[in-house]
Structure 1
Amino acid sequence: MMRSRKTKKQRREKSSHSSAGTAAPSYTPEQEAFDTALEQLDDCLNAATTISGSRIGVVHTGRQNRVLMSYAKTITHCMSLYGLSSKPQTMPEGNQLLDHFSVAALARCIVDSGIMTLYLSEPSLTLPQWDLRRHILFLHDLTNRKRFLTSLVKAQGEGPKPPFFENYNERKRDLLSVIDKRCDELNISPERRDEFKKGQTVFLGGVRGAVREAGIDVNTFDFLHSYFSNHVHSHPVSLLRADEQMISFESPSPFQLGLCATALGAATDYLSAVNARVEIFTGDISRDPVGPLE
């Protein structure tokens, strides 16, 4: 899927003249870095949509299908990030809102979904390891749904419970039974097993364990994840320095361009890693080392 775009040269030409023929702001280093990051994400997205499109209609294992869904989620986040970042450049001077708040929030989503895609598709896993990994994810899903649906029932007051609760206990027992079995096979300590069975675990070794497993630098991950999270949660870091950062809702400041260039660069890095993994892990059932389990 190719998307039309203005090149950096076209943007430089636009910045050298205003619509009235008078001088416009110069093409700054911050703007150039932003434009470069935007074009690099566009190239990466074109590669991603080509890979994803080539998997349509191909028979895959359940694991591969989950990988492809997580991949599609990552691509969709990146498309939204690209659209949100490129929109201001189609607008007239003085009306170029660059929503760096939402850009940062989307970048956090991309980091998370990229790590999940790599975690699901880790090629070194044996059958018992993958089966434990997926059942811990199933248990987290079950536990999480119980939590928010319980709150929904309380908020709605009297009335029948959702069908989810009808066989909740049975499904939980089945999941715990498999987790126990796989933990026995893999010689996992009772302490870790008990932690897994609480239903709060997503990544067996924690998110940083998943980051290391994927070959991603943990310090870089910590910076991106914690920094972008401030904008997801509207923490003080996202609000307190508006004057110093010259935040504008009409024409992006150097800070806004720099933050968005960082977000775009992170998105490109994670999507590139996911592209490479999905290309070798999907496309044929034989590319899943574990094979079909369901």
Structure 2
Amino acid sequence: MTDKKIPVIAIIGPTAVGKTEFSLSLAAKLNAEVISVDSRQVYRYLDVGTDKVSREIRREVIHHLIDVVDPDQVYSAADFAEDAEDAVNRIMARGRVPLLIGGTPFYYRALTGMLSEDLPKDENIRSQLEEEITGRGLPALHQELLEIDPEAGAKIHQNDPVRTMRALEIFRITGKNASWWYRRQNKMESPYEILYIGLTRLRANLYRNIERRVKEQFASGYPEEVKWLLDNGYSPSLPALQGFGYRELVRYIGGECTFLEAIEGDIRSTKAFSRRQMTWFKHFEPALWYDFDEVSKEEALRNVVPRCLAHLEGGA
């Protein structure tokens, strides 16, 4: 007989759909504390570009896993899973409800022990590995793979750049090698029973939200934030500064593009990311989906609160 799983609520959906505002209202009704599931908000000093909630709001509703590491530190999906589990335990020990909120699918997968089914990809890390093959040579990368993942290194031919890079990519993103994730699959059952609250909008309306938010960010200290990071010695090649928006502003500050081109590049990349998010999230179950073009936040709250309470009491 397995132990009863811990019931947890999570709010998912694409960027700019309205997750943050909805989560604050839901947290108040559930006596919840928020656990951020966002691979960018873990970094200190990346505030405007990651759309963090203000410190004033965080004093009203406790948030966890925001400002965890500096931009030049490595923070993996495995680190997140460990920290989130600790946060869940501490929140519940205080008699409160853990409320997961964020748009990073592979963090959710890591927390539930399912990352091996959908191991993440990162175009920036892949580009870095391609540059390393050119600079260091494929044999050096394969030797690195043998050191971090002997099992995969033995299976992958030393002249196979694609599989070598993929195995290294998995390690650099998650902090664990590919063999570890594959062994873990179907052997580690998640301790959580997560009810996903999915938020969506018509794509055209979501795109308008993205365009508006990016323009507001660029007018509200985003360029100054990136300049401060660069002036304080944070390398533009850091993964934290290679995300959409930050990489465009690095180019703008370096004179490689215009201000308008940086805005347009950020908008384009954010839209593409929102499409990928929905592709991933549509497989998350069980989920209650609410179309914010069809129902108001208040209507959604009236519907979702009793469903959440039933889930938390073990009746879902």
The TM-score with structure 1 as length reference comes to 0.25
Decide which structure has greater helix share: 1
The TM-score with structure 2 as length reference comes to 0.24
Structure showing greater relative contact order (alpha-carbon pairs closer than 8 Å, 6 or more residues apart): 1
